[in-house]
Chain A
Amino acid sequence: MAEKKTLGQEFSKGLIKENPVLRLVLGTCPTLAVSTSIENAIGMGIAATIVLICSNIVISALRKVIPNKVRIPCYIVVIAAFVTIVQLVVKAFAPSLDEALGIYLPLIVVNCIILGRAEGFANKNGVVASAVDGIGMGVGFTIALTLMAAIREFFGSGNLTLKVIGYGTTLQDVFKLGETDILTAIGLEPILIFILAPGGFFTFGLLMACANRIAESKGKPKAELKSCEDCPMAASCSLKADGKECAE
């Protein structure tokens, strides 16, 4: 961080300006994998946000204690501990969500948003700022995930599950359609491929193009996959020590 930001700015930058998914291109794997329904997307978003906030707080609090050379393994242990806690809580209180997210719940450990924020923010900033940064980034991740899930679910199944952890309703129930989905009701057919894997890639590309369009109109550079110097692993990467170029 070059200039000091207010807490409000720390929070809001994660939502749009530095949205982790659409601007920083982090955490693409869970974004593609769990965005098949809004319910899963919000569940995943909440789980990742909790881990992000907790790990940001702990890492920021310990930033002067952790020796610089072994910080990445330390971060990974802290993150893995919180992921385990979240995993057990979800298993106990929302078993259907646990089933829907499957291996992607424990895979939050290797979600680069979390390690990226630990390395890029929490180890340089105070506890409060790191917590707020975690909330902002987490909410930004959830928004992007939900947006993608809404597109995929609506076109893929003709329905929207407006649910958070099992509570809420579906769009079919709102319009009292029974078993018929919205698209069939207005004389169209759901496009199944949107729910399947190719639809995930396509929708992500579509949203990325929109994000680039908006960024361009604001005079910002388009989103790119991280280059070597922004990589969260850069500090511990042996390539740097050897003076070699990154694999890309």
Chain B
Amino acid sequence: MTITGLVAILLAAITTNNFVLSKFLGICPFLGVSKKTDTALGMSAAVIFVMVLAAAVTYPLNVLLENHDMAYLQTIVQILVIASLVQFVEIVLKKYIPALYNSLGIYLPLITTNCAVLGVVQLNVQSGYGFVASVVNALGGGLGFMVAMLMFSGVRERLEGNDYPKFWDGLPITLVAAAITACSFLGFTGLVEGIFGA
């Protein structure tokens, strides 16, 4: 795959195919951990880390399964690999890099059942990406998650203390704010095709 193709994948994953705001993957942390900008940043960093690692680790396993006509086992293998990978990363960080563990570690348990991680792995299989393209797609997806989280945490900080109807308080108003944030991402439609003429 050419460099242009890789840049197109990266850019598309961040903007037009944003994981949170156009593919609805990873909504739980998006709504749950976006109250403050610094927690949003920590969570997104952990997600990027795990997504890239998961894409890199599952790619050879997928190839192995496909070569042995066992592609139907992909879902089971992927989720097990991701779950053990997250645990493993957590233990290693705790032992060897406590500083990083203290800033990212608390978000790691939340990531195992985050559909963005399994989602990116599944998307890579479906799109037939090679190793580099898979990793780039995962990186783009993670960065897109970070962009969405940061934007949204800003919006939510502005929402605090505002006066809205009683029954919209809490989750409903957060969802409406997310709708408006998602609207802004509609502006990216056609961006990647426009630049790279795909």
Contact = CB atoms under 8 A, between A and B. Distances in A.
Interface string B78-108: 0110011000001000000000000001111
Nearest to A237: B109
A197 B119 contact: no
B175 A81 contact: no
- Give chain B's interface secondary structure class: helix
Interface stretch (A83-91, A133-141, A155-163, A175-183): A83-91
Contacts of B183: 193, 198
B7 to A, nearest CB: 23
Nearest to A33: B24
A110 B182 contact: no
Contacts of A222: 167, 169-171
Nearest to B32: A225
B179 A29 contact: no
Contact of A247 (B43, B72, B171, B175): B43
Contact of B122 (A29, A103, A198, A200): A103
Nearest to B112: A233
Given A244-B106, A248-B33, A29 B76 contact: no
Interface stretch (A39-47, A58-66, A202-210): A202-210
Given A107-B118, A232-B113, A233-B112, A197 B79 contact: no
B113 A115 contact: yes
B49 interface: no
A166 interface: no
Interface string B42-55: 11000000000000
Given A29-B24, A84-B76, A109-B79, A239 B32 contact: no
A32 interface: yes
A56 B19 CA distance: 30
Interface in B4-27: 21-27
25 contacts: A80-B80, A107-B122, A109-B79, A110-B114, A110-B118, A193-B186, A197-B24, A197-B186, A201-B176, A201-B178, A205-B171, A205-B173, A205-B179, A208-B172, A209-B167, A209-B168, A212-B172, A223-B170, A225-B32, A237-B109, A238-B90, A247-B107, A248-B32, A248-B33, A248-B35
Interface of B: 21-28, 31-33, 35, 39, 42-43, 72-73, 75-76, 79-80, 83-84, 90, 105-110, 112-115, 118-119, 122-123, 126, 165-176, 178-180, 182-183, 185-186
The list of the 9 closest CB pairs from A to B, nearest first, reads A205-B175, A201-B179, A209-B172, A202-B179, A33-B24, A198-B182, A80-B76, A32-B24, A198-B179
